[in-house]
Amino acid sequence: MIFTDTHVNKEKRYSLGIEKNSGEFYISFPVYNGLVEYEEYYQLTTEQYDGYPENSVELEQFLNECKSQKKMSYYYKKLARFVAMPLNNQSTILSVRI
């Protein structure tokens, strides 16, 4: 998946964009799981995407529902599960299974 931001709201910390392979629209925001910071991506309808910025209030309501995991059916990726790997003296290894 190749996510390309087209609109960024720095104040509210979210982006809108297009996933290049599918042509679908998304909203994304940064999250932190205790180990790493990354972005979560949720699918938007054409109407939601095309209505920006006039529909900012509705999009931010959708965003808050995504953040509280009420819109998981719109989530682009399965939740990652971190798997601990043995460490040697020279490196740290972290494996992510999706």
Output the tens digit of pLDDT for each of the chain's 98 residues: 899 999 999 999 999 999 999 999 999 999 887 787 888 899 999 999 999 999 999 999 999 999 988 998 999 875 455 443 433 344 444 445 55
Q: What is the pLDDT of residue 74?
A: 92
- Euclidean distance between CA atoms 62 and 16, whole angstroms: 12
Q: What is the pLDDT of residue 86?
A: 37
Please, which residues have CB within 8 angstroms of residue 80's CB and are 6 or more apart in sequence?
Answer: 96, 97, 98
Q: What is the pLDDT of residue 31?
A: 86
Q: What is the pLDDT of residue 78?
A: 54
